[in-house]
Structure 1
Amino acid sequence: MKVRTAALALVLTLAVAACGRGGREDDAADDVATAPPTEAPAFSSPTLQAVKRRGRLNCGVHEGLVGFAYTDNRGQWRGFDADFCRALAAAVLGNADAVRFVPLTTSQRFNALRAGRVDVLWRETSWTLSREAEEGIRFAGINYYDGQGFLVRRSLNLSSAAELNGARICVQRASTTELNVADWFRARGIAYTPVVTDNQEAAREAYGREDCDAFSADISALAAARTLLPNPEQHAILPDVISKEPLGPAVKRGDEAWTSIVRWTLNGLILAEELGVTRQTVGTLAGESRDPSIRRLLGVEGDFGPMLGLSKTWLRDAIEAQGNYGEIFARNLGPDSSLDLERGLNAQWNQRPAGLIYGLPIR
């Protein structure tokens, strides 16, 4: 009898406890259902306000890298990154020439962002976790997928970087390049001697003087460096790609709205190529296209520019000024340039062969 009474008491206790838990869950659900709606915070960018007051975009670029950012014989800035700076100025200020180019070394670039010397850094910079966590910056997107490789003299008859045992390798100090080389050789148990220089130009010059057997950098930078050597055809880029280098624009941490403006300007140029909107056709398509995606892109429908504090035609202005992503690539890095690089990973996602470039929807 005592056993039956104790069992019954235990069942009742568990039932009461279950009811109590169920009541608390119901109360929590009721709290969520009855909570008053909260408004999203206003979209406001101190950086955008400063750029508009100044009437000029300050854009940090490489101090001189063929194909990406360099001055021509008239002192005008040219290159892939320079064109994106102009496109951003067109989107924000309606004037692609309202840019002050600020050449920065590798060691200067992040401090220049933090100090407010530049509004955006468009300088062949790889997006990594440690840079976002420790450098006080945010990356707004990727405009070039690169990888690190090796430039060598054809006279060495090398077919792979694995044959560089005991070689002297020129690398740039305080860069992911230096770290990647160390990781790659250590993982394979291959001995090498680093020849460390202050910047890429010094590394290229050291390689040209034969102070090292190979020059390691991003493959795009190696292609640019080869064009500056006395006999470019005597040098080859080995097939080995030893890292992933997603390059893109960076901004100062703390201004989320400005990060979005840079991100969606870049995205708009990528999307324009996918939709077939070019520098030559943008005006016609703005007036005649019935495609909702094109109409939103060009500001014919929706208020996407004003959402960002910009004009309705912000992306149309950018495309008219510099063209779409593919046009910018072709004239600076592709078949219309001295580098003549293939699109590769930087092809659109729906091309054949497919690349990694993908336009986010504007809607």
Structure 2
Amino acid sequence: MRLFGKGSLLVLLMLVFAFAVVACGDDDDDDGGDATTDDAGGGGSEVLSGDSFKCGTRDDLSGFAALDADGERAGFDTDYCRAIAAGLFGSVDAVEFVDLATADRFTALQSGEIDVLVRNTTWTASRDGGEGARFLATTFFDGQGMLVSADSPYQSLADMDGTNICLTEGTTTQLNLEDAFTNAGVSVGEALSFADPELIQEAFNAGQCDGWTADRSALAGFKTNWPDGPDAVRILDETFSKEPLGPAVRDGNDDLAQAVEWVIFATIQAEEFGITQANVDQIRDSSEDPNVRRFLGLEEEG
């Protein structure tokens, strides 16, 4: 799945981002603060003044960030990295992808190994306050689910008393699982945590766990690419958490945060207007809607 191409939508993002930069500049001027504050505090200006950025992601989650049949990066999160590159630097190629294990996401962000984290990461209050991360607009609203074997007897969490459940370490998943089982009147036999999905899949197929819990979107991706075919497993109907997923930058990188957030807003507004990479040229040349024309950076006629 590739959402952003190298052609027309690049022009769209550049036009919209031009207005975002003006807005950022106006706010700084109106604030009346010391002009050196951002540079001294690492407000992200050093990233914006460069010619590319480092996007923390992954390459193993179908639909979000994976390698396609040609070995090219593809997916929702991958393409948001490209959209940010287009908005900040004028090229979808102005990005260095840095693949991260789940447990290393925030360490990489805090240390400066990456500039922006775009890796199906849930925005929580504890992470917002304790991981040195500033979360931006939510790009995908998900929820936690449960994957089981197609021939298993489990139809709901209430059927899974005493079962062993596999999950990814370093996530919000285990606490959500324990709460969901408690609410269903059952208990977890053992929660088995692993560093990456490949290890979980091996454990699942070896019979070490009766269920695999993760975000439903992630489970759907694993199901699609299941070694024995997607019909070998199924996802229970229950959704037992709220998972707002979106990009994050380091705390204090206010300039970068504002810039990235405006790129996100641009993609959302483009979808509302029905503007895509396939039709943006035609809409730019023909639309008389003043809102669309302003969005595309055109002078309003009349």
Same fold (TM over 0.5): yes
Bigger relative CO (Cα 8 Å, ≥ 6 apart):
2
Structure 1: how far apart are the matches of 2:44 and 2:87? 11
Q: 2:201 aligns with which of 189, 201, 204?
A: 204
Residues paired across the two proteins, number = 265
Gapped regions of structure 2 (runs ≥ 5): 1-28
Q: 1:248 aligns with which of 246, 249, 254?
A: 246
Structure 1: how far apart are the matches of 2:217 and 2:153? 22
Q: Does 1:220 align with 2:217?
A: yes
Q: Counterpart amino acid of 2:284?
A: A
Shift of 1:205: 2.2
How big is each residue's C-alpha offset from its partner over 1:234-260, in whole Å with a ceiling of 9 and x where there is no partner? 211000101000100111110222111
Shift of 1:72: 2.7
Within 5 A, what are the aligned runs for 1:69-80?
69-80=65-76
Shift of 1:47: 6.0
Within 5 A, what are the aligned runs for 1:1-363?
39-41=30-32, 49-192=45-188, 193-229=190-226, 230-301=228-299
TM-score normalized with structure 1 length: 0.69
Question: What is the SS of the residue equivalent to 2:297?
Answer: coil
On the 8 A contact 2:158/2:185 being kept in 1, the answer is no
On the 8 A contact 2:83/2:92 being kept in 1, the answer is yes
**Which one has the largest radius of gyration?**
1
TM-score normalized with structure 2 length: 0.82
Q: Counterpart amino acid of 1:64?
A: D
The change in CA–CA distance for 1:39 and 1:99 in structure 2 (over 3 A counts) is closer
The change in CA–CA distance for 1:73 and 1:278 in structure 2 (over 3 A counts) is closer
How big is each residue's C-alpha offset from its partner over 1:99-151, in whole Å with a ceiling of 9 and x where there is no partner? 11000111111111111111110000001000010001111111111100000
The change in CA–CA distance for 1:130 and 1:62 in structure 2 (over 3 A counts) is same
Q: Taking every aligned residue pair, what percent have the same amino acid on both sides?
A: 39
Question: What is the SS of the residue equivalent to 2:199?
Answer: helix
On the 8 A contact 1:63/1:105 being kept in 2, the answer is no
Gapped regions of structure 1 (runs ≥ 5): 1-37, 303-363
Structure 1: how far apart are the matches of 2:114 and 2:59? 14
What is the RMSD computed on CA atoms of the aligned residues? 2.1
On the 8 A contact 1:113/1:251 being kept in 2, the answer is yes
Shift of 1:98: 1.3
Q: Which moved more, 1:252-261 or 1:42-51?
A: 42-51
Question: What is the SS of the residue equivalent to 2:158?
Answer: helix
On the 8 A contact 1:218/1:245 being kept in 2, the answer is yes
How big is each residue's C-alpha offset from its partner over 1:259-283, in whole Å with a ceiling of 9 and x where there is no partner? 1111111111111111111112212
